[in-house]
Amino acid sequence: MGTKPSLAALVLLSTPLFGQNLVVNPSFEITTTNCGSFGGEGFFTDLTGSWDNASNNALGDSCSSPDLFSACNIFATGVPNSLLGFQYARTGTRYAGIITHEVLDQYREYIQGRTVTPLVAGQTYCVSMYVSKADGVPFATNNIGIRFSSTQFLRDPCPGQNNSLIDLPPDLNYACAAIIDTVDWVRLQWDYQAVGGESFFTIGNFFNNANTIIQNVGGNFLNPFAYYFIDDVSIVPNSCCYADLTGTLTYCLNDGATDLGAVGGIGANCSNAVQGTWSGPGITDPAQGTFDPAVAGVGTHAVTFSMDCGFSATLQLTVGPCVGLAVCADPVTGALTVSNGVAPYTWQEEVQVQDCSACLFGCIIPPGCAVMVPAWSTFANGASIPAPSDFPIQVVDGVGTVLTLTDPGSIPSCTPCPAITVNVTDRTNVLCFGDATGSATVSATGGAGSPSYVWSPIGVNGPTATSLAAGSYSVTATDENGCTGQVAVTITGPAAPLNITVVDVTGATCAGGDGTSTISISGGTQAYAVEWSPSGATGTMATGLDAGVQTVFVTDANGCTAEVEVNVPSLDGPVLLEISSTASACAPPDGTITVLATGTGLEYALDGGPFQASELFIGVAGGMHTVAVQDANGCTITATVFVDAPIGPDPVISGSPFACAGDEVVLSTTEAFASYRWSTGAGTDQVVVVQSTFVTVTVTDADGCVGTSAPFAVQFEEPLAAFTTTPASPQPPGTTVVFEDASTISAGTLIGWSWDLGVIGGTAGTPDVSWTYDEPGQYTVTLVVQSTNGCVDTVSAIYVIGSLDISIPNVFTPNNDGKNDAFVIENIEFFPNELTIYNRWGAVIYSKKDYRNQWKGSDLSDGTYFYVLRLLDGREFTGHVTLLR
């Protein structure tokens, strides 16, 4: 909840009847720390010497503890936001607060003040204070009173509750209705005749709950008590003669007349009504306080309220023209100047402030209740200010007229603008309706610097705008000082789209070349070029047209095009009324087709054959047929008709679909027929197949109807067994030999393998097998393979395991008699080696790596030769050999 200062705060008082306020620190503005202490200010710690809680206990006890609310307090007792509600100080930035009622007990709080000098016996004093109910509590009361004493009044309020009540009669007391105002400050006042010597006074509720009016105003039962803020306590000599003035302080010249108000205090009396006279410019009813802005005129006027008791106060009322403020900017410095209003002028910027209106306690309960909201904060006063650094800002004149500025670029210059002329220097109009092919260029003269251009309503910037549709545009040119000039630009175009309307169509006979059509053209730009396709005609009328679709193309003077299709119907021709048929046998065909048609010189044809005069076709086979009817003009109409016939046979071939190569497969049909023709050429009821193929049979049943079977696949499987050995034969004992399947099959799949490796236990049923041969010998290895359908094939091979010893001869006879023609080293094939042969002079005559008995001593003479044989296992053999022819 918010509040605004009472208008009485703006009153100029002229009351010589009142003397000095005798209350020490009457508005709680004088504090010990003056906001210099961390955490803020407190009632006990900062009002020492001027105010206390009428308690004789230790400083700061909580048995009866009033509060000091201050703008420098952060949380519970802050101003204007606190745990107990929202309120600004009536004057200054501080006020006090007390509890006047608590639920379930008699708990009370009091504040005790003191006077500058003791009161004088017999003297009448006006005693007053301002109170406002805290809006964060649910209860309101009356019984806010004052008790005077010549010495400081002290009592023991502990332990609180009922003990805190001062059960003594007050000297002054407000006993009217409970005070419920949480927005404004309510003035309580009394006339008090002093006994003499009074130097202290205590403020609070001196009555128990039974004698107090307690009103439940609802809301916030977390604070189950009645709580009042107190400010501006006053004790001045003389009877009370005072009024707070209320009413609007600013007006527009055309506002209607309104009544000003004056209210006094309540206390001894429950009514705050006062009597007085209003005077000053614009007052048209002095008793009622009626103020008429039109009578007062523009300006600031002092209006005075006077009472018979001698009190008078003045309101400063401002009347403005309210015609709208104007702000301009200095083109060099950017400084702003406002005019058209009534001084004083206030400049404000937008800031973020905390809004606690949704909170129950201060600004923290419930959590998140406080939010930041935008507000306006004054940063300058006067008619002119330096160039602002941020926007938005607003300026308010003396009567409250507001002008908000958001864009500095929109503020006009304070320098008078010259005439700026904008001319259209180039223009291209739209050629075809609806297109955006227009463009225009403008140029401005007469302004300062290089102007900027804005096209409206399209928002284009710059002197040239393209892709314009036909229509009107406004271009604004702005110079460097913000001065502007405008020009209207009109882009023309066709008023309507190019349109073709088919006016008339006459159909063509089947002879062709005698159809006609007429069109009309509108819109676009005349003249028009017309072309008919495919006839090639020009102009709006075409003749000699064949039946079918003609496309008409029209091009106007600007090259815009349109087209339309014209359907030229076919006239006359024969009319087919009915086609009937009778069923046919399979052989010979004997079905009939009869045609019923109307026309001149009709002839009939069947399935594309020659035309005949008769409408009856005989000997027609079963099936779908096409009938054509042609008249004397050559016009033809066709239709289809179905001739029923017996269903032909559907032979099914039976027999084995699989066989092994070399076997025979006998095929036949599942039922007997009158005749057969097999795809193999046979004409019997069975056929023998000896190779893979697809077989069909065409049969004729007893009715002569023919049918052909679906293809029957016969597959002959021919496995070919084969294998490889690693390493290759021969090998020495101890060699592990790997036998791998290399078999193939012409069709089908191999599914079985049977190995016999030529030794006991040397069998296997897998595609590949290995075996280690430890003994020399010749081993017969056999592989049998089998296909999916049981076809088999067998292959065998000899694998040789030789001796471990080598034997080197000492003589050989290369005479080509087939005996001992080479230098043969027995078993050398089992040993990786290198052989070198030398003559008797030590020259190498033969060298071979991995020698395999190839040397025959060709071209060498008889004699003795020497050899060196090195084996891979490290052994070396040397010796001589004799060559004899």
d(CA 795, CA 153): 136
The pLDDT tens digits of the residues spanning 282-331 come to 999 999 999 998 898 888 899 999 999 999 999 999 888 777 788 988 87
Amino acid at the residue 815: N
Gap between the Cα atoms of 479 and 81, Å rounded: 51
Distance of CA 228 to CAs 84, 144, 203, 734, Å?
10, 9, 11, 119
Distance CA 537, CA 542 (A): 6
Contact 516, 541 (CB under 8 A): yes
Rg (CA), the chain: 64
What is the distance between the alpha carbons of residues 665 and 658, in angstroms, rounded to a whole number?
8
Q: Is 748 within 8 Å of 658 (Cβ atoms)?
A: yes
Express each pLDDT in 465-494 by its tens digit.
999 999 999 999 988 877 888 999 999 999
Longest dimension (CA), the chain: 179
- pLDDT above 60: residue 790: yes
**Would you state the structure tokens that stand for residue 173, as one six-digit string?**
């007391």
- Whole-number pLDDT of residue 401: 86
Q: What is the DSSP letter of 60?
A: T
Q: Regarding predicted confidence, which is higher, 217 or 870?
A: 870
Residue 601 burial class via C-beta count within 10 angstroms: exposed 0-12, middle 13-18, buried 19 and up: exposed
**Predicted structure pTM score:** 0.46
Q: What are the DSSP E strand ranges found in 165-257?
A: 172-174, 186-193, 200-204, 214-216, 225-237, 244-246, 250-252
Mean pLDDT, residues 92-101 taken together: 96
**85: phi then psi, degrees, rounded to nearest 5:** 150, -170
The region, left, alpha or beta by phi > 0 then psi within -120 to 50, assigned to residue 768 is beta
Judge whether 387 and 327 are in contact, CB under 8 Å.
Answer: no
What letter would DSSP give residue 560?
Answer: -
Q: Could you give all domains of the chain from N- to C-terminal order, each with its CATH number?
A: 19-237 (2.60.120.260), 244-320 (2.60.40), 326-410 (no CATH), 421-491 (2.60.40), 499-571 (2.60.40.10), 575-643 (2.60.40), 653-717 (2.60.40.10), 719-801 (2.60.40.10), 811-883 (2.60.40)
Closest CA to 713 of 690, 698, 694: 694
Mean pLDDT of 47-74: 83
Note the Cα 133 to chain centre separation in Å: 51
- Look at residue 16 in the predicted model and tell me its pLDDT: 41
Between vectors from CA 226 to CA 225 and to CA 228, what angle results, nearest 5°?
140
Structure confidence by residue, pLDDT tens digits, 228-272: 999 999 999 999 999 999 988 888 888 899 999 999 999 988 999
What is d(CA 763, CA 781) in angstroms, rounded to the nearest whole number?
Answer: 10
Number of Cβ within a 10 Å radius of residue 88: 19
Give the residue among 245, 242, 295, 260 at the shortest CA–CA distance from 125.
242
Q: What distance in Å separates the CA atoms of residue 372 and residue 237, rounded to the nearest whole number?
A: 47
* pLDDT value of position 18: 53
Residues 6+ apart with CB under 8 A from 512: 546, 547
Q: What percent of the chain has pLDDT over 90?
A: 65
- In this structure, are residues 239 and 112 in contact, taking their beta carbons and an 8 Å threshold? no
Measured CA to CA, the distance from residue 778 to residue 798 in angstroms comes to 6
Q: Alpha carbon of 139 to those of 54, 246, 494, 696: distances in Å? A: 24, 28, 80, 112
Distance between CA atoms of 474 and 454, rounded to whole angstroms?
A: 8
How far apart (Å, rounded) are the C-alpha atoms in residues 321 and 580? 104
Q: What is the 3-state secondary structure (H, E, C) of 313-371?
A: EEEEEEEECCCCCEEEECCCCCCEEEECCCCCCEEEEEEEEEECCCCCECCCECCCCCE
Q: Which two tokens stand for residue 451?
A: 């102007």
- Over residues 582-604, the mean pLDDT reads 91
Amino acid letter, residue 874: G
DSSP state of 418: P
**Looking at residues 419-439, what average pLDDT do you find?**
94
pLDDT tens-place string over residues 641-687: 999 988 889 999 999 998 898 889 999 999 999 899 999 999 999 99
The confidence score (pLDDT) of residue 368 equals: 84
